[in-house]
Amino acid sequence: MAKENRNIVKGSYLYYKNKPLVREKDTICYGDLSEKCVLIFEIMSYVEEEGLRVPGTVYIQIMSTKDGQTLKCEQKNGMYEAFNYGMFWYEKLLNE
């Protein structure tokens, strides 16, 4: 298996609980790549609420930084529900 080269992106990031929260298009990644896993949100659809386009269906993945294996995955409705669910499992896996 070929090793993936990852370049460090320069710039400032949004941090939540002292970990970077980075978005590129419909993918949001939370966590530090030096830890054993990261939390990834894939926005699958959008809905219109009060004139705003907000995430509808969100696919959550907790992935191992060692081998890229998916440790846990789930689909939720709305970013609020997805973030709460994902953070619970992410913190639980980090503390094991």
7-29 mean pLDDT:
84
Report pLDDT for 4: 58
CA distance 23 to 15: 12
For the full predicted model, state whether its pTM sits above 0.85.
no
Structure tokens at 27: 């993918």
DSSP labels, 18-72: TEEEEEETTEEEES-TTSSEEEEEEE--EEEETTEEEE-EEEEEEEETTT--EEE
Please list the residues that pair with 23 across neighbouring strands. 28
For residue 74, give both structure tokens: 């789930």
Token pair for 83: 């973030």
Please tell me the predicted confidence (pLDDT) of residue 1: 47
- The confidence score (pLDDT) of residue 10 equals 64
